[in-house]
């Protein structure tokens, strides 16, 4: 029992202040200071991009497009975040009441801390829009994919406030109270050195980590699209930001609305929450007029057919064409004299093509005489007997027929004039015997 009490006594009753805030890299002309705040921001960006890239790839986005968008979104977001902080906490930069007593040279010194999330989101979205247009993808699709990653980046980046000993809450006696170095310029004047403060950076970090899990679960369950998951992100984050922001005691721009005076970030969070809720409802009521795709209209990638599929379709089309031609030839031959000997010749040619295919659709070699006879027979009128054909005759062939055959290339005239394509017979059975048919 005593060991348990001793171990409990060893547990610190507060969060100690950080022992360092960065390190120096020696250079020939001096030293390069690497701030812990910047490392936290960088680690958050890397983690957020990793999660976004995984979700973006699962949605079928072009490979590498997340990095093409990030190179626009990240710089725009950092600039926007800094500008929002400067104008929401202007005293250090412009002086109280913008009296000109501030130090404008502090504005670009981001390593000292101060990035406003709403400026980062707003201007970052502009950069993301530029990147999405260049990549041919929808901004809303990317925002939905990036929403959990954005919360993850914020959860990690908030630890930069811890190393800078800034943006903490009011005094507290809770066992997780935060120690602040009394020599820090951010330590509130007039308070005892041993005073503990609410670690608002930790509250927000834990709130954001829980939000990452909630967004992933909601997206898996409901598959929010067209920017609706990003609206859920905005509602969730602002809901926590309102009560966390209200706990802070650092200097900030105060705004009075409806008889209530509070920090600018509190009012901003309330307005963003209301706008995100309205957008979420309206987007849910609107019917989808286009397929769920990450690509902009007209920027979809061309889908190339596999070689096997293309070959199979080509063979099927060729077989269908030949079959149609055979049917046309047989129909023409069945009309008898109305089609004339020319139809018989066409049917013979098509019949040869049809005969050259076996049951599997492959070409094979068939004697020309067999194909010609088979299709020539099919071209004879239904009223004509096969006994009238020359091959079925029992008597000798008249000499005049052989003479005509030699002179006309094997064709028999239907009306007294030579006609090419028919061997020794006429389309009807009423021709004179001298023409070679019975």
300: which DSSP letter? P
Instruction: Please give the pLDDT value at position 64.
Output: 86
Instruction: Please give the pLDDT value at position 9.
Output: 41
Structure-model confidence comparison of residues 288 and 158, the more confident one: 158
Q: Residue 42: inside a domain, yes or no?
A: yes
Instruction: Please give the pLDDT value at position 257.
Output: 87
* Cα 213 to Cα 155: distance, rounded to the nearest angstrom: 12
Domain identity same for 386 and 261: no
**Is the pLDDT at 348 greater than 90, yes or no?**
no
Domain identity same for 196 and 266: yes
Structure-model confidence comparison of residues 10 and 39, the more confident one: 39
Which of 251, 285, 319 terminates a domain? The answer is 285
* Cα 87 to Cα 399: distance, rounded to the nearest angstrom: 115
Confidence category of residue 21, pLDDT binned at 50, 70, 90: confident
**Is the pLDDT at 194 greater than 70, yes or no?**
yes
- Residue 272 near residue 118, CB atoms below 8 Å: yes
- Is residue 181 classed exposed, middle or buried when 0-12, 13-18 and 19+ CB atoms within 10 A define those classes? middle
Domain identity same for 250 and 322: no
Which of 246, 269, 285 terminates a domain? The answer is 285
Confidence category of residue 415, pLDDT binned at 50, 70, 90: very low
Q: How many CB atoms lie within 10 A of CB 112?
A: 12
Instruction: Please give the pLDDT value at position 117.
Output: 87
For helices 200-222 and 228-246, the axis angle rounded to 10 degrees is: 160
Instruction: Please give the pLDDT value at position 372.
Output: 43
Enter the pTM of the model: 0.65
- Residue 111 near residue 36, CB atoms below 8 Å: no
Q: Residue 91: inside a domain, yes or no?
A: yes
Q: Residue 80: inside a domain, yes or no?
A: yes
Q: Residue 251: inside a domain, yes or no?
A: yes
Phi, psi of 251 (to 5 degrees): -65, 135
382-398 pLDDT, tens digit per residue, is 444 444 444 444 445 44
Instruction: Please give the pLDDT value at position 98.
Output: 81
Instruction: Please give the pLDDT value at position 326.
Output: 53
Structure tokens at 341: 């000997």
- DSSP letters spanning 342-379: HHHHHHHHHHHHHHTB-TTS-B----HHHHHHHHHHHT
**What angle is formed at CA 140 by the lines to CA 137 and CA 143, rounded to 5 degrees?**
100
- DSSP letters spanning 59-93: TTPPTTHHHHHHHHHHHHHHHHHHHHHHHHS-HHH
Domain identity same for 203 and 352: no
- Find where tokens 């094997």 sit: 410
**Is the pLDDT at 123 greater than 50, yes or no?**
yes
254-269 pLDDT, tens digit per residue, is 888 888 888 888 999 9
Instruction: Please give the pLDDT value at position 50.
Output: 95
Which of 252, 285, 318 terminates a domain? The answer is 285
Closest of 35, 77, 31, 73 to residue 56, by C-alpha: 73
Instruction: Please give the pLDDT value at position 99.
Output: 82
Distance of CA 430 to the CA centre of its chain: 75
265-324 pLDDT, tens digit per residue, is 899 999 999 999 999 999 988 776 666 788 887 777 765 444 444 455 556 666 665 556
The whole-number average pLDDT for the span 313-342 is 53
Domain identity same for 161 and 33: yes
Strand 177-179 and strand 196-197: pairing?
antiparallel
Domain identity same for 253 and 339: no
* Cα 33 to Cα 48: distance, rounded to the nearest angstrom: 25
CA-only gyration radius of the chain, Å: 44
Structure tokens at 192: 């005892």
Instruction: Please give the pLDDT value at position 254.
Output: 84
**Is the pLDDT at 352 greater than 70, yes or no?**
no
Q: Residue 89: inside a domain, yes or no?
A: yes
Domain identity same for 115 and 186: yes
Domain identity same for 412 and 280: no
- Domain of 340 in residue numbering reads as 309-425
* Cα 133 to Cα 372: distance, rounded to the nearest angstrom: 65
The domain total for the chain is: 2
- Is residue 256 classed exposed, middle or buried when 0-12, 13-18 and 19+ CB atoms within 10 A define those classes? exposed
* Cα 294 to Cα 283: distance, rounded to the nearest angstrom: 17
Domain identity same for 274 and 375: no
* Cα 38 to Cα 111: distance, rounded to the nearest angstrom: 6
First and final CA of the chain: distance in angstroms? 127
Q: Residue 82: inside a domain, yes or no?
A: yes
Domain identity same for 264 and 413: no
* Cα 276 to Cα 274: distance, rounded to the nearest angstrom: 6
Q: Residue 292: inside a domain, yes or no?
A: no
Domain identity same for 264 and 356: no
Q: Residue 381: inside a domain, yes or no?
A: yes
Q: What b/e sequence results for 216-241 when a residue is b if at least 16 CB atoms lie within 10 Å of its CB, and e otherwise?
A: bebbeeeebbbbbbbbbbbbbbbbbb
Distance of CA 370 to the CA centre of its chain: 60
Domain identity same for 275 and 330: no
**Is the pLDDT at 143 greater than 60, yes or no?**
yes
Q: How many CB atoms lie within 10 A of CB 107?
A: 16
Structure tokens at 93: 């930069």
**Is the pLDDT at 190 greater than 60, yes or no?**
yes
* Cα 115 to Cα 282: distance, rounded to the nearest angstrom: 31
Residue 409, classed as helix, strand or coil, is coil
Among 57-61, 176-180, 261-265, 359-363, where is mean pLDDT lowest?
Answer: 359-363
Structure-model confidence comparison of residues 378 and 135, the more confident one: 135
């Amino acid at each position: 029992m005593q060991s348990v009490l001793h171990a409990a006594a060893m547990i610190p009753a507060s969060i100690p202040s950080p022992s360092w805030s960065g390190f120096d890299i020696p250079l020939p002309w001096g030293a390069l200071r690497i701030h812990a705040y910047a490392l936290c921001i960088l680690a958050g960006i890397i983690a957020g991009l990793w999660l976004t890239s995984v979700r973006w790839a699962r949605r079928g986005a072009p490979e590498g497009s997340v990095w093409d968008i990030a190179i626009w979104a990240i710089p725009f977001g950092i600039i926007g975040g800094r500008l929002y902080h400067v104008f929401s906490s202007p005293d250090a930069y412009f002086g109280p009441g913008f009296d000109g007593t501030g130090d404008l040279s502090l504005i670009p010194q981001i390593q000292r801390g101060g990035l406003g999330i709403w400026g980062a989101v707003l201007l970052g979205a502009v950069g993301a829009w530029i990147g999405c247009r260049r990549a041919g993808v929808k901004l809303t699709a990317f925002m939905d994919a990036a929403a959990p990653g954005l919360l993850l980046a914020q959860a990690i980046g908030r630890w930069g406030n811890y190393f800078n000993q800034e943006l903490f809450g009011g005094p507290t006696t809770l066992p997780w109270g935060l120690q602040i170095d009394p020599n820090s310029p951010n330590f509130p004047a007039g308070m005892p050195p041993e005073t503990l403060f609410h670690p608002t950076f930790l509250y927000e970090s834990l709130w954001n980590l829980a939000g990452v899990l909630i967004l992933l679960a909601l997206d898996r369950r409901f598959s929010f699209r067209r920017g609706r998951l990003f609206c859920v992100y905005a509602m969730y984050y602002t809901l926590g930001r309102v009560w966390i922001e209200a706990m802070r005691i650092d200097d900030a721009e105060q705004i009075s609305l409806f008889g209530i005076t509070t920090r600018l970030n509190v009012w901003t969070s309330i307005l963003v929450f209301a706008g995100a809720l309205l957008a979420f409802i309206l987007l849910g009521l609107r019917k989808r007029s286009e397929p769920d795709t990450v690509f902009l209209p007209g920027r979809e990638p061309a889908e190339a057919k596999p070689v096997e599929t293309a070959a199979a379709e080509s063979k099927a089309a060729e077989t269908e064409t030949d079959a149609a031609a055979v049917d046309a030839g047989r129909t023409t031959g069945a009309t008898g004299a109305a089609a004339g000997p020319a139809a018989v010749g066409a049917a013979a040619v098509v019949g040869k093509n049809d005969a050259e295919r076996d049951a599997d659709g492959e070409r094979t070699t068939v004697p020309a005489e067999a194909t010609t006879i088979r299709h020539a027979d099919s071209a004879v009128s239904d009223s004509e007997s096969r006994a009238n054909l020359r091959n079925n005759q029992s008597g000798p062939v008249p000499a005049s027929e052989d003479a005509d055959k030699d002179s006309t290339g094997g064709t028999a005239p239907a009306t007294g004039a030579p006609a090419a394509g028919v061997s020794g017979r006429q389309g009807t059975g009423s021709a004179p015997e001298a023409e070679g048919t019975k």
